[in-house]
């Protein structure tokens, strides 16, 4: 079956020749470093209290795109000169969140110190009345990650994965459990601790990243992975969670980079107002402006004011997407 991937192999060789040698990922912050950073936060609070002053936490404004830059080897990273926001213990509007941050810092410290892990969901259900909502806890964990300037996975708090993966892939979980994704009819949940997986074995020629779960299930039902073996398909079921993005990144050695597929004109639909606002926002983001090909595609979409839903292809014929469109794209090229 290798003959059908001639164009994919050519693309990979061309891309590998043009890529600069970069570190594909940054080393995790050491456990001791995480503990030290937490201790410094608590030390500043103790000093403020000893002076009779109301403690203040300096947080990163996560809603501001000006606080991040795109680094090719790792993706989005915080700038050195970020605009902060301050959380005052003495103000009624922020006192509750201030206390919750200290509570989670305590949980993180114990987890890191004992080299154990917990999910955000487990922490929330230990005291749901305290946190009020899962969203509040999630926001606090992200605030702490930015405040300490460490990857979220280094806090030993895991997110429950929502993504699925299937295809030519086997690996071991951190606890030694073997995971085999080779079933053609079912998918495997993406690991909750992607950073801990090891012994990855795959001969996949490409990874197909599928946005929507319905399309992913259609590919599974039509034995897509068996028909175009060896390959891997993965979905984050809409907006991808951190674990799904990490898994795709870990598997990048199966494929050099993401590619754009041209979509037939008849599959295009007009923009809604929300689409126009979103694409204007995208054009100013650093991970788009530093990629000329991506920037041209976004600019073209903005000028056309049209988008494509991949489900539209199913209206041509029930198996058009899985047996005609995608296989021909992969066999004969046609990407950007």
The answer to whether residue 140 scores a pLDDT higher than 90 is yes
Which of these ranges, 146-160, 210-224, 315-329, has the smallest mean pLDDT?
315-329
Confidence at residue 326, expressed as pLDDT on a 0 to 100 scale: 77
Confidence of residue 327 (pLDDT cuts 50, 70, 90): confident
Which residues contact residue 144 at a Cβ distance below 8 angstroms, ignoring those fewer than 6 apart? 101, 104, 105, 108, 155
As a whole number, mean pLDDT of residues 82-91 equals 84
**What is the chain's mean pLDDT, rounded?**
82
Give 233's strand partners. 166, 208
- Nearest CA to 231 out of 311, 322, 334, 317 is that of 322
User: Catalytic site residue 325?
Assistant: no
> DSSP characters for 215-246?
HHHHHHHTTHHHHT-S-EEEE-SSSPPHHHHH
Residue indicated by tokens 């501001």? 64
Confidence at residue 246, expressed as pLDDT on a 0 to 100 scale: 86
Give 77's strand partners. 69
CB under 8 A, 24+ apart: contacts of 177-181: 181/232
Q: Exactly one of 3, 109, 125, 287 is catalytic; which is it?
A: 125
What digits encode the pLDDT tens for the residues 10-28? 666 665 554 444 344 445 6
The answer to whether residue 273 scores a pLDDT higher than 50 is yes
Residue 147: its H or E element? helix 134-148
Give percent of the chain above pLDDT 70: 82
What digits encode the pLDDT tens for the residues 203-227? 888 888 888 888 899 888 888 888 8
Confidence at residue 37, expressed as pLDDT on a 0 to 100 scale: 95
pTM value is 0.66
Question: In this structure, are strands 170-172 and 198-201 parallel, antiparallel, or unpaired?
Answer: antiparallel
3-state secondary structure of 58: strand
Confidence at residue 174, expressed as pLDDT on a 0 to 100 scale: 85
Confidence at residue 107, expressed as pLDDT on a 0 to 100 scale: 95
Residues 188 and 181: beta-carbon distance below 8 Å:
yes
């Amino acid at each position: 079956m290798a003959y059908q991937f001639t164009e994919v192999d050519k693309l990979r060789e061309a891309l590998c020749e043009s890529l600069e040698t970069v570190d594909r990922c940054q080393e995790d912050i050491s456990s001791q470093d995480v503990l030290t950073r937490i201790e410094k936060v608590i030390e500043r609070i103790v000093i403020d209290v000893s002076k009779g002053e109301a403690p203040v936490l300096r947080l990163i404004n996560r809603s501001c795109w000006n606080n991040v830059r795109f680094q090719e080897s790792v993706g989005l990273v915080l700038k050195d000169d970020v605009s902060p926001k301050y959380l005052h213990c003495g103000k009624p509007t922020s006192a509750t969140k201030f206390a919750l941050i200290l509570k989670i810092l305590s949980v993180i410290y114990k987890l890191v110190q004992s080299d154990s892990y917990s999910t955000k969901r487990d922490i929330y259900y230990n005291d749901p009345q305290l946190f009020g909502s899962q969203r509040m806890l999630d926001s606090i964990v992200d605030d702490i990650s930015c405040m300490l300037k460490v990857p979220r996975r280094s806090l030993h708090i895991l997110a429950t994965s929502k993504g699925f993966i299937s295809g030519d892939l086997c690996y071991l979980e951190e606890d030694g459990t073997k995971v085999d994704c080779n079933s053609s009819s079912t998918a495997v949940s993406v690991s909750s601790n992607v950073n801990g997986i090891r012994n990855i074995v795959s001969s996949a020629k490409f990874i197909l990243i599928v946005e929507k779960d319905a399309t992913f299930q259609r590919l599974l039902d039509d034995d897509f992975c068996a028909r175009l073996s060896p390959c891997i398909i993965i979905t984050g079921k809409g907006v991808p969670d951190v674990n799904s993005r990490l898994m795709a990144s870990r598997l990048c050695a199966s494929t050099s980079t993401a590619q754009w597929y041209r979509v037939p004109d008849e599959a295009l639909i007009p923009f809604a107002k929300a689409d126009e606002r979103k694409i204007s926002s995208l054009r100013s983001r650093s991970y788009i402006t530093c990629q000329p090909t991506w920037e041209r595609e976004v600019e073209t979409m903005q000028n056309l004011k049209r988008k494509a839903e991949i489900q539209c292809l199913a209206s041509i014929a029930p198996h058009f997407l899985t047996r005609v469109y995608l296989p021909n794209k992969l066999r004969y090229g046609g990407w950007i």
